[in-house]
Amino acid sequence: MKYLFFAFVCCCNFAHAQSYKKVHRKAIMADSHNDLLTASIEKNVLIDQDLKGKTHSDLNRFKEAGVDVQLFSVWCDGNKIQPYAWANREIDTLYAVAKRNPQKIEIVPSYDALKRAVRKNKLAAMFGVEGGHMIEDDINKIDSLYNRGVRYMTLTWNNSTSWASSAMDESKLKNDPSAKLGLNDFGKQVVNRMNQLGMMVDLSHVGEKTFWDAIQTTTKPVLVSHSNAYTLCPVFRNLKDDQIDAVGKNGGVIQLNFYSAFIDSSFKNREKVFLENKQPEIKQLVANGMQKEYAQAMVVEKYKEESLAIQPPMSMLLDHLDYIVKRIGVDHVGMGSDFDGISASPRELTDVTTYPLITKALLEKGYSKKDVTKIMGGNLLRVMKAQQSQ
């Protein structure tokens, strides 16, 4: 009898495994933020090669993960000379990959083209510029980037521009009455031009004043491409409750960031000790020309077991999802991993191929198949489609 019971349990477990995998495959999985383009340049690798152990992502692993739509981040820090040229270099990188792999990936210009590419079993790719400094205060460069496939722009990165203040800077200047915070007239023109083009206005990284100015200016649903809930993890990069509520009222979507320090407020102290012990190696990589964020990521990858030991569990990421859903509903949350732009993710989410574990966990938490389909990509696609309306 015990053997029959064992067989029954095994069959149930197999059916459950098949069930969540089927739900994951059926959903259009869309990630709003992946930094593989920057990582490929910093680490001098080709993203259509096997990069296991070197990056979180590569072209074949997107397929293995069930990722159907990827918005690739175009990023450089605020100190980069000629950031617009750097942006185009990163865009060129993906165009070269698409040209070499026409059966696997297609850079798509519209929502309809995206759906066609997915039906052909290709990775539908678009770009998101992470930081308004990359337009170099020239509004015409927004049009140029749009024509190359950029479908969102983060108004600021950690550095402010001349026309928008960042969350990092606002957190430092909030008690300075002389500080010029928020969007100025040119910044509002930027938002208006993005609305006209159909480019999503991304409010990750922006300061609170910039956030509210943008919400009041935009005529389209906004994107928050990679941010979490401030109440659960009070860091400057996460959204406070009134901001979460405003995104819901606007019809936008908040895409969850997998960076451990934006999930678990106690992680930063553990990471600080880890990185201090690795400073000589990090400084050497920076001296050799690598941007600091990627030097840290390289060290994390080298000392993987030590790094995993300090990372939070995936359940803490899903706490942020539950929190947002309870405030504004399941139609306004999705996934913006920040893979290949972060040095530490939740313990179980080691690379893009672990994405099905999120689908499994959501189903186990009681989310319906319909809700999971929305979270894993449907909500982002809705906001993308809304940009095309007049």
Beta-carbon neighbour count of residue 261 at 10 Å? 21
The CA-CA-CA angle for residues 275, 239, 191, to 5°, reads: 110
Question: What's phi and psi for 114, nearest 5 deg?
Answer: -60, -50
CATH code of the region 23-264+313-386: 3.20.20.140
Give residue 240's identity as a one-letter amino acid code.
K
Nearest to 188, CA basis, from 157, 221, 210, 159: 210
Three-class secondary structure of residue 57 per DSSP: coil
Give pLDDT, residue 1. 56
User: Which residues on adjacent β-strands are paired with residue 300?
Assistant: none
Radius of gyration of the chain (CA): 20
The CA-CA-CA angle for residues 193, 69, 41, to 5°, reads: 80
User: Which residues on adjacent β-strands are paired with residue 229?
Assistant: 239
Beta-sheet strands, E only, within the chain: 29-34, 67-74, 105-107, 123-130, 150-154, 200-202, 223-224, 253-256, 333-335
Give residue 3's identity as a one-letter amino acid code.
Y
Distance CA 161, CA 87 (A): 16
Question: What's phi and psi for 141, nearest 5 deg?
Answer: -70, -20
Question: What's phi and psi for 71, nearest 5 deg?
Answer: -95, 115
Judge whether 132 and 82 are in contact, CB under 8 Å.
no
Give pLDDT, residue 7. 46
Give pLDDT, residue 17. 52
Distance CA 71, CA 125 (A): 6
Beta-carbon neighbour count of residue 315 at 10 Å? 14
Task: Dig out the tokens for 121 from the structure.
Answer: 């079993």
CB contact set of 30 (below 8 Å; sequence gap of 6+): 67, 68, 69, 70, 71, 334, 335, 376, 377, 380, 381
Give residue 77's identity as a one-letter amino acid code.
D
Global pTM value? 0.92
Give pLDDT, residue 131. 98
Beta-carbon neighbour count of residue 72 at 10 Å? 27
Distance CA 264, CA 11 (A): 37
Nearest to 137, CA basis, from 89, 171, 187, 91: 187
Give pLDDT, residue 367. 97
Residue by residue, pLDDT tens for the chain (390 residues) are: 555 544 444 444 444 555 999 999 999 999 999 999 999 999 999 999 999 999 999 999 999 999 999 999 999 999 999 999 999 999 999 999 999 999 999 999 999 999 999 999 999 999 999 999 999 999 999 999 999 999 999 999 999 999 999 999 999 987 787 788 999 999 999 999 999 999 999 999 999 999 999 999 999 999 999 999 999 999 999 999 999 999 999 999 999 999 999 999 999 999 899 998 999 999 999 999 898 888 988 888 888 888 888 999 999 999 999 999 999 999 999 999 999 999 899 999 999 999 999 999 999 999 999 999 999 999 999 999 999 865
Locate CATH 3.20.20.140 in the chain: 23-264+313-386
